[in-house]
């Protein structure tokens, strides 16, 4: 049976599934229940200076019948008294010594303020590490905290340095995705002495407009504001940012806690395959509750057993070397669509998508009393769209074709070498 023990910069947890700092980690009762259900760690809802929250706070993006593909929030850090948070963390760590408990912190950008909260929290809670919230994109950022820090590498490095002056436990720096190039704040976190990075926090967003009120959703007495976006829809953005950090020679070795749209064991395995040491989950728990972790643990360990991976390190980062720049992709690798007519239900969605939205490489033919879709081999560029819109699993697949159409690299082609002979092409045949 696979060993799921995770280790993030020396913080050990029984498995890689942590709750992200958010409403599910707001109280002792919630985190205790989560640990009883199997979660390996929890990052407590961010503590800091007192704040007041608005009513209401959340907006959802539904796609078809699938609810909460994206979640938007305008909530701030904890609105509970700091004494209560500290007391509950202390009791929790006492009762669950083997689980990872992380204190998430955010205070104004002053050395004394950071020193004070770090000393107090590590002294009074017994937590295993800190997570510095440099990511909250609304409310706090307008007061020079959260994303306002994460967006300026110099501030990021400076505050990490202040924290490291007094911290005796590992410091995780939680980054905002609301930047042009994530490698700059990641490098700054390392430069400041951070022990690990976590990402992503939420993405600037306005989830929608209520057309009856003519106001953004969610609204507060008729007015709305931009918020932070998360949930399954943000996973590709998180994966891309993580791969940018793991493929940057300056940050490649920095331990990473992956966050953003993790909803099941497969998502977690993908984050780990790109180089993460563990994952954090928020929206999926807000949607389905703590028990999803049972399936996550079962799924990940069965898959690891099947693949022969005994520990997380056996596949951590295994997919990272396959991420490269576009210019390094193989121009001589040729693919073509292949349709399994036994599986086809005749909906013709592939035909419409290809005809109107792609490369006009499918045709309708009458055969044996059926109207069938066939591939025009000389026109198919193997783009994949037909298989993406097909509702039947494995009905359309992409097959490798030996062609050797363009026997040069991208750089050589840009320099005028090679030609596009034998490649499917739409040469113009329109009369003047
Ligand atoms: C309602 C809500 C409140 C949040 N509060 C915090 C917070 O206090 N501190 C923090 O670092 N992140 C906070 N987050 C961000 C999450 O920790 C996480 O980074 C983000 O939701 C992405 O993960 P997900 O896609 O699994 O939801 C919050 C997210 C939501 C939805």
- Give the pLDDT of residue 356: 98
| Catalytic-residue membership of 136 | yes
Within this chain, do residues 169 and 256 fall inside the same structural domain, yes or no? Answer: yes
Within this chain, do residues 316 and 349 fall inside the same structural domain, yes or no? Answer: no
Domain that holds residue 51: 6-322
Residue 420 lies in a domain: no
Residue 366 lies in a domain: yes
Output the six-digit token pair for 83.
């004494």
Atom of ligand 1 at shortest distance to CA of 73? 1
For ligand 1, atom 1, the nearest C-alpha belongs to 73
Residue 425 lies in a domain: no
How close is the Cα of 47 to the center of ligand 1, in Å? Answer: 13
With bands split at pLDDT 50, 70 and 90, how would you rate the model's confidence at 402?
confident
How close is the Cα of 183 to the center of ligand 1, in Å? Answer: 21
Residue 430 lies in a domain: no
- Angstrom CA distances, 242 to 9, 103, 128, 238, 419, stand at 17, 22, 23, 6, 36
> Which of 322, 338, 367 is where one domain is finished?
322
With bands split at pLDDT 50, 70 and 90, how would you rate the model's confidence at 411?
confident
pTM: 0.95
- Give the pLDDT of residue 111: 98
Mutate to test the pocket of ligand 1, among 16, 18, 19, 22 (most ligand atoms within 8 A of CB): 22
How close is the Cα of 220 to the center of ligand 1, in Å? Answer: 20
Domain total in the chain: 2
Alpha carbon distance 286, 71 (integer Å)? 10
Alpha carbon distance 236, 258 (integer Å)? 12
Q: What are phi and psi of 264, to 5 degrees?
A: -155, 180
Residue 38 lies in a domain: yes
Residue 429 lies in a domain: no
- Per residue in 368-399, pLDDT (tens digit) is 899 999 999 989 999 999 999 999 999 999 99
Q: Which of 293, 239, 255, 290 shows the shortest CA–CA distance to 27?
A: 290
CB atoms within 10 A of CB 305: 12
Percent of the chain with pLDDT over 90: 86
What mean pLDDT do residues 105-115 have?
97
Atom of ligand 1 at shortest distance to CA of 198? 19
DSSP lists the bridge partners of residue 279 as: 17, 258
Within this chain, do residues 400 and 261 fall inside the same structural domain, yes or no? Answer: no
Within this chain, do residues 290 and 350 fall inside the same structural domain, yes or no? Answer: no
How close is the Cα of 1 to the center of ligand 1, in Å? Answer: 32
How close is the Cα of 6 to the center of ligand 1, in Å? Answer: 21
Q: How far apart are the first and last CA of the chain?
A: 71
For ligand 1, atom 5, the nearest C-alpha belongs to 22
- Give the pLDDT of residue 194: 98
Atom of ligand 1 at shortest distance to CA of 235? 25
Mutate to test the pocket of ligand 1, among 202, 284, 286 (most ligand atoms within 8 A of CB): 202
- Per residue in 304-345, pLDDT (tens digit) is 999 999 999 999 999 999 999 998 888 888 899 999 999 999
- Give the pLDDT of residue 432: 84
Q: Are strands 41-43 and 100-106 parallel, antiparallel or unpaired?
A: parallel
DSSP lists the bridge partners of residue 48 as: 106
Within this chain, do residues 86 and 18 fall inside the same structural domain, yes or no? Answer: yes
- Give the pLDDT of residue 283: 98
Alpha carbon distance 373, 348 (integer Å)? 7
Percent of the chain with pLDDT over 70: 97
With bands split at pLDDT 50, 70 and 90, how would you rate the model's confidence at 184?
very high
Catalytic residue among 127, 136, 230, 380: 136
- Give the pLDDT of residue 333: 84
For ligand 1, atom 29, the nearest C-alpha belongs to 22
With bands split at pLDDT 50, 70 and 90, how would you rate the model's confidence at 427?
confident
What mean pLDDT do residues 282-295 have?
98
For ligand 1, atom 23, the nearest C-alpha belongs to 260
With bands split at pLDDT 50, 70 and 90, how would you rate the model's confidence at 48?
very high
Give the CATH number, domain containing residue 409: 3.30.70.20
Within this chain, do residues 211 and 301 fall inside the same structural domain, yes or no? Answer: yes
Res 425 pLDDT > 90: no
Within this chain, do residues 173 and 65 fall inside the same structural domain, yes or no? Answer: yes
Residue 423 lies in a domain: no
Higher pLDDT pick, 249 / 420: 249
Measure the CA dihedral 351/355/357/361, to 10°. Answer: 90
Atom of ligand 1 at shortest distance to CA of 135? 11
- Give the pLDDT of residue 391: 98
Output the six-digit token pair for 302.
């069965």
Q: Are strands 66-73 and 58-63 parallel, antiparallel or unpaired?
A: antiparallel
- Give the pLDDT of residue 330: 84
For ligand 1, atom 30, the nearest C-alpha belongs to 22
Atom of ligand 1 at shortest distance to CA of 280? 26
Instruction: Give the range among 22-26, 225-229, 404-408 with minimum mean pLDDT.
Output: 404-408
- Give the pLDDT of residue 388: 98
Pocket (CB within 6 angstroms of ligand 1): 20-23, 45-46, 71, 73, 75, 77, 104, 133, 135-136, 174, 201-202, 230-231, 234, 259-262, 281-284
- Give the pLDDT of residue 214: 95
Residue 295 lies in a domain: yes
Res 404 pLDDT > 70: no
Within this chain, do residues 253 and 338 fall inside the same structural domain, yes or no? Answer: no
Q: Which of 394, 390, 358, 360 shows the shortest CA–CA distance to 376?
A: 360
With bands split at pLDDT 50, 70 and 90, how would you rate the model's confidence at 229?
very high
Res 272 pLDDT > 90: yes
Give the CATH number, domain containing residue 88: 3.20.20.70
């Amino acid at each position: 049976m696979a060993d799921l023990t995770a280790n993030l910069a020396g913080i050990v947890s029984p498995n890689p599934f942590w709750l992200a700092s958010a409403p599910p980690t707001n109280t002792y009762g919630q985190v205790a229940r989560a640990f009883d259900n199997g979660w390996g760690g929890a990052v407590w809802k961010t503590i800091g200076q007192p704040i007041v929250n608005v009513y209401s706070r959340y907006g959802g993006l539904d796609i078809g019948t699938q609810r909460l593909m994206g979640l938007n929030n305008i909530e701030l850090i904890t609105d509970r008294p700091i004494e209560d948070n500290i007391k509950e963390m202390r009791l929790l760590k006492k009762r669950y010594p083997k689980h990872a408990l992380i204190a998430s912190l955010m205070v104004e950008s002053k050395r004394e303020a950071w020193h004070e909260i770090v000393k107090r929290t590590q002294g009074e809670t017994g937590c295993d590490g800190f997570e510095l919230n440099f990511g909250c994109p609304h409310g706090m950022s307008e007061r020079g905290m959260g994303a306002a820090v994460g967006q300026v590498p110099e501030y990021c490095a400076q505050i990490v340095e202040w924290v490291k002056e007094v911290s005796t436990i590992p410091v995780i720096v939680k980054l905002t995705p609301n930047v042009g190039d994530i490698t700059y704040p990641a490098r700054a976190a390392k430069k400041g002495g951070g022990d690990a990075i976590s990402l992503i926090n939420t993405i600037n967003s306005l989830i929608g407009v209520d057309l009856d009120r003519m106001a953004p959703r969610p609204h507060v007495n008729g007015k709305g504001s931009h918020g932070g976006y998360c949930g399954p829809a943000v996973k590709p953005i998180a994966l891309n940012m993580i791969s940018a950090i793991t493929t940057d020679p300056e940050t490649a070795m920095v331990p990473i806690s992956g966050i953003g749209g993790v909803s099941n064991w497969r998502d977690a395995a993908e984050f780990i395959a790109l180089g993460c040491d563990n994952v954090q989950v928020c929206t999926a728990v807000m949607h389905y509750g703590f028990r999803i972790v049972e399936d996550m643990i079962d799924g990940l360990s069965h898959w690891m057993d099947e693949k022969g991976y005994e520990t997380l390190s056996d596949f951590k980062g295994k997919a990272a070397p396959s991420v490269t720049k576009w210019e390094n992709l193989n121009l001589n690798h040729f693919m073509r669509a292949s349709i399994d007519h036994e599986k086809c239900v005749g909906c013709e969605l592939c035909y419409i998508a290809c005809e109107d939205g792609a490369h006009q490489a499918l045709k309708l033919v009458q055969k044996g009393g059926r109207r069938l879709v066939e591939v025009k081999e000389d026109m198919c560029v193997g783009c994949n769209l037909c298989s993406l819109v097909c509702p039947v699993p494995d009905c359309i697949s992409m097959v490798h074709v030996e062609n050797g159409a363009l026997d040069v690299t991208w750089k050589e082609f840009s320099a005028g070498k090679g030609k596009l002979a034998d490649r499917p092409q739409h040469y113009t045949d329109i009369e003047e």
